[in-house]
Each structure stands twice: as structure tokens, then as C-alpha cells.
Amino acid sequence: MADYVSLIPGAPLPEALADVPPLPAFAPASLDFVEALSGLLMRMPEARTYPELTALGFWMRRANLARLRADMERRAGEALLVPRGTVLHIAPSNVDTIFVYSWFLSLLTGNRNIVRLSSKPSPQADLLVGAIAKLLREPAHQEIARRTLLVRYAADDRTTTRFSAVCDVRVVWGGNATVEQIRKLPLPGTATEVAFANKYSLALIGAESWTEATECRKADWIEAFYNDAYWFDQMACSSPRLVLWLGDAVQIKAASTDFWGRFEGYLADRQERFGDADYVNKLVAEDALAIEADVAISTTSNNDLVRVWLDTPALHHTLHCGAGLFFESSLDSLDAMRPLLSRTVQTLSYAGVETQRLRDFIAANPLAGIDRVVPFGHALDFAPVWDGFDLLRVFMREITVA
């Protein structure tokens, strides 16, 4: 009996993948498949109801793939790069579409791929898998089908070890516990591993800029902040959980009151109900915070938004449960953010702060944390450089010729 469920009918056994040679980077077969999936998603009415699938379809367009290729070639220069071979991707359960981004960056660089999807039910993932399976049955995409294995199985070290034994790169997306468990499992001596564990992200708002912004600009920032935070129920690593206001006390009080008042109005029109467990978890977090620290907690009547004001900025990793829970605090300068930063901090999304000011802050002294800095509305945008790793290079090896 198979120890996993293959999601692609007729897919090869993991041990047979090594018999199929890798493709050249950005081979026509790879580009055609990615573009075909993009077109299929864009034509599916049910896929349009999920903004993350729309964003994925947009990312997979041929024009964007051309930009990825040009950027990789620019970075590589004269280096001779070839695919590493077979890449094993362990996908997370909190972001339904991440497996496609990881898989496609590896696919585009020519590798064979094994992708383990989460067993957690997800209509978005099911739509994606159905579209992928449909395309891989077509004769035009058999070069991709014979190099691809998409699977599901309950957490099982023996099965993961079986897949790990045939891979050249293992990519682990998941929480700290998942990463620690999979790292215990052996890899071939020539293989390498990249892990993306728990991360925490911040939002930064310039109080004076918010106060002086036009009504249209404020509306744009509110919508962008909502998209950053409420997609994936605020559980993506790049979703902001701590909101930091930059300015003096008077500016911050006025800006914060105005911002959250507008945001509550936006939520009333847009937000769908969270799961019952999410509301309970937020109540538990509120109670724990009230016991642990002297904090001010504000909650909307329907509990879709909970704000916890911290006199001293802090991350409170263990108490954050997502689903519209925000810690909030103030900074009188960018340097006051440095004590918060560690390797657990991933994304800083910002509004009302000059980009050059942020660049100068980063360049002044090495930061202990922050992997990416993006404007509001782009926190969830996937890029080949993630958590400080250039995945296009991770999935390729360099051959030197003297």
C-alpha cells in the first residue's frame, strides 16, 4: 500500500525521478506550463472569488516570468548555473498558495520536484490541485508531468525520509516544530536544505504623514493594510501583527484614532466572519495579556478587530493568534525599533515614511532582523528572494570553468 496519496494520476514514483534529466532553466516546456496554469486560473469563475489565486495567476504571467529570468541572469553575470536535480518542498498549512510559488521557482530553474501539500482542508488548494492535474494530463505538458510529484500524507517520518532520500534540495515551509522535526531526518550527503520557520511581521505608519494625507490616500492605505493583514486570517508570516506609530505623542494619538476609526468602517463592509475558534483564541489572548502586563485593550462589538496598546513595544510571539489581533505601540525614532529586531522578524510594511529614510536606517548599522521592507499592500507579495534567501540560486548550483 502506498504511504502517500499522489494528487496527479500516473505520476512517477519518487525513486524514478532521477532517471529523468533536468530541463534547462526557463525551458519552453516550463514556461508554457506556468503560463497555461495562469490562464486557466484567470478563466475559472470560482478562482476569482479568492484574491490570493488572482494574485498567483497574475504572478505567473509570461511578462513576469521574463522579468524573473532577466533578474536571475543579471544577478548571475558570467556564472554557469545548472539545476540541482530534485527538490522536495514541504508546504505549510497556513498559506494555501505558497507551494506553487516554491515549486514554480524550482521548476523554472529546471529541477524535478516533489511537493508535499498540507492535509488541512482548503478550497483554494483544491482548486489549484484540480487545475494542475487537468493540465498535467494534457500531451502538451508531459515533460512537466514526468518530472513532478504532488502528494499528501499525514505527518510521517518514514514517508518524509523516503522522499528526502532522493532529493538534492529540501525546502521546509512551516512552524518551528515542523522545521525541527524534519531537520532530524537524514538527507543525502550531497543535498542541501533551506527552512522557513515561524516569523513575525510589523507595520510602520508615519503619524504626521497620515494626518496630512488626502482622503483618497488614506482610503488606499486602509485597503492595503486590510489586504496585508486579513488575507490568510493574519496567519501568514508576512502579515503585520505589531503596528508601530512613528512620531510624537500628540501626532500619534490623533493619527491612531483616525486610522482605526476608518479601518473599523472598512471592516464592517468587507470582513467575513472568522472561525469560532479564532474568536475564542482572541479572548484567551486578551485575558492572558491583561494578567501578564499593564495593557489597554480595545475590541469591536463583533470581535473582528482587537487592539492591544503597549507602552513599550514588544512582539508577544506566543500570545498572538491572528484573526485581527494587533499589538500597537509608538516610536519616537526609527532607532527605537532596533531592540525589537531579531531573526524572527520578517517583513516591515510601511506607510507615510520616506523610502530613503528607511534605506538610510538599514544601511546605518546591520539589523538583527527584518528580511524585507515593502509599502502597505505588498506584504503578501511573493518574491524569489524570501527570508533573505535567493531561491532561484538556491535551486541551482554553479559550475566553475578555469
Structural domain for 164, as ranges: 5-198+387-399
What is the model's pLDDT at position 318?
67
Q: Are 369 and 342 in contact (CB under 8 A)?
A: yes
Q: With bands split at pLDDT 50, 70 and 90, how would you rate the model's confidence at 305? A: confident
Q: Are residues 362 and 392 in the same domain?
A: no
Q: How many CB atoms lie within 10 A of CB 334?
A: 17
The residues near 8 (Cβ < 8 Å, ≥ 6 apart) are 132, 133, 136, 145, 148, 149, 150
Does residue 93 register a pLDDT over 90? no
Domain presence at residue 381? no
**CATH number for the domain including 274?**
3.40.309.10
Element (H, E) at 373: strand 372-375
d(CA 229, CA 239): 5
Domain presence at residue 147? yes
Estimate to the nearest angstrom the gap between the alpha carbon of 326 and the chain centroid.
19
Q: Are residues 85 and 52 in the same domain?
A: yes
Residue 380 has φ and ψ, to the nearest 5°, of -95, 0
- Give me the number of domains the chain comprises: 2
What is the model's pLDDT at position 133?
93
**CATH number for the domain including 12?**
3.40.605.10
**pLDDT tens profile 187-244:** 999 999 999 888 889 999 999 999 999 999 999 999 999 999 988 777 888 999 999 9
Residue with cell 487545475: 131
What is the model's pLDDT at position 29?
96
What is the model's pLDDT at position 269?
81
Q: Are residues 190 and 294 in the same domain?
A: no
Q: Are residues 14 and 99 in the same domain?
A: yes
Residue 167 has φ and ψ, to the nearest 5°, of -105, 155
> What DSSP string describes 254-296?
HHHHHHHHHHHHHHHHHPPPPPHHHHHHHHHHHHHHHHHS--E
Predicted structure pTM score: 0.86
Task: Give the mean model confidence (pLDDT) for residues 277-302.
Answer: 74
Residue 3 has φ and ψ, to the nearest 5°, of -95, 10
Residue 262, amino acid: R
Q: With bands split at pLDDT 50, 70 and 90, how would you rate the model's confidence at 282? A: confident
Q: Are residues 126 and 204 in the same domain?
A: no
| DSSP single-letter state for residue 348 | E
The residues near 401 (Cβ < 8 Å, ≥ 6 apart) are 80
Does residue 164 register a pLDDT over 50? yes
